[in-house]
Structure 1
Amino acid sequence: WQAIQSQLARMQELVNKIRAGQWRGFSGRAITDVVNLGVGGSDLGPHLAVSALQHLKDTQIGIHYLSSMDGAKTAALLKQLNPHTTLFVLAT
């Protein structure tokens, strides 16, 4: 139980830093977009959670999902994103 609480606290700290612009990308710039990479249904849980909690959103951080190996879809999304300010999350 304590290990779970510890991990939840670490997750909350990371989220707070990202939302406050304190957690930076590789070039030192604040995160503006988060991309969830998950195929085979791995995107369903995060997508549901974000949709259900949308009314609580208080930042302008863009949330995006890549859930297929479709190169055209991936290329289209990557064109919209700045690599200096985008965080990629891999869900397996």
Structure 2
Amino acid sequence: MQALEVHKSLNCVTVFLSDCEAQLKKLQENGVKGPLYGVPVSIKEHVGYKGHPYTCGLAQYLDVLEEEDSVIVKVLKKQGAIVFAKTNVPQSLIW
């Protein structure tokens, strides 16, 4: 997995999403292929993903988990993309 190799040198991934295989299986079972079918996509850490925190780089929000996916994640999934990781952001998205 190339993302893991890049992460080893840059420390850019905050979490690899374990449900990405379930996403792909659901797409395959559904049979409907959107324009992004099977394309692996990483999202920035500040984008909401159900069951994971979105902290904007602030440690005080590490324990606050999202109750549902953000609109962008819902659209990506609906179009067939496989969201597999969340990547780092600068603290408070300042820089």
Q: Normalization by structure 2: what TM-score?
A: 0.23
> Greater share of helix residues, 1 or 2?
1
